[in-house]
Amino acid sequence: MITTVATTHWLLGAFVLFGFARAAQAQDPGRATDSASSGEAASSADDSEAALKPPARPNQWSVHPFAIELHLGIATPIGALGLMLDWAPVPPISVGCGVGTNFVGVEGACMLRGRYVLVPTRALYGGVGASMGRHVQTYSTQGGVAAGLLLRGMGEGRHPSQYEWDLAKWINFEVGYEWRPPRAMDGRVYGGLAVLLDPSDGVPSEPLNAIDANSLRLSVTQLYLYLGVGLGRAF
């Protein structure tokens, strides 16, 4: 009987102590919210770190999808001097069309470009397009840039003839590097291969019997290498 009473008293004491402990915890909101406060502090630290990071620069082909460019070059699809408008409906793709002169006539061209954006202001691209215009082919100019590299002008005297096209048609393959900084400027350097699609339409400047026997008659070249640079304004 004594043992039973002692056990009962011990259990009652334990329940009373447990009750006091729960009441004390309820009256101490700081202790009850320690874990919640720790989570909020961690979240605030993450937000502060994010706020300190500089904002990402926007892709300039999204901000300024249009560009008007002045082009200078050798045997480019719009000649030695011309203007071109480039439009990027989405940053990886653009369409460019322009007009220029090769100093024997007017040339027009359009090109579809696929762009690999390196950073928001720099990109590499490849393109394919078509062009047409008046064309005169002489020994010293055949091959475009290749003619200068091979110093073909030194052989002009042995090749006095030339061919002329009122409307030569070309397909062009191009690669280049372009930049479009936030100041809305625009530029590109490029090179490519132009393929003459109608070589048989070229009209020789002299009939065959008019060429001196010691001279070599010019043969038509279909492949031209070209180089160019474009500078302008994006908007």
Concatenate the DSSP letters of all residues of 107-171 into one string: EEEEEEEEEEEEETTEEEEEEEEEEEEEEEE-TTTTTBHHHHHTTGGGGGGG----EEEEEEEEE
73-87, 90-104, 113-127, 213-227 — which is least confidently predicted? Answer: 213-227
In this predicted structure, the answer to whether residue 156 has a pLDDT above a threshold of 70 is: no
**Predicted TM-score of the model (pTM):** 0.72
pLDDT at position 147: 79
What average pLDDT does the segment 177-190 reach?
94
CA distance linking residue 69 with residue 72, whole number of Å: 10
Tokens found for residue 62 = 């999204």
In this predicted structure, the answer to whether residue 178 has a pLDDT above a threshold of 90 is: yes
Residue with the bigger pLDDT between 219 and 53: it is 219
Residue with the bigger pLDDT between 49 and 31: it is 49
Which band of pLDDT confidence, cut at 50, 70 and 90, is reported for residue 22? low
Phi, psi of 65 (to 5 degrees): -75, -15
Question: Which residues on adjacent β-strands are paired with residue 206?
Answer: none
Q: How many whole angstroms from its chain centre is CA 163?
A: 37
Nearest residue to 64 via CA among 111, 108, 123: 123
Which band of pLDDT confidence, cut at 50, 70 and 90, is reported for residue 146? confident
If phi over 0 gives left and psi between -120 and 50 gives alpha, with beta otherwise, what is residue 18?
A: alpha
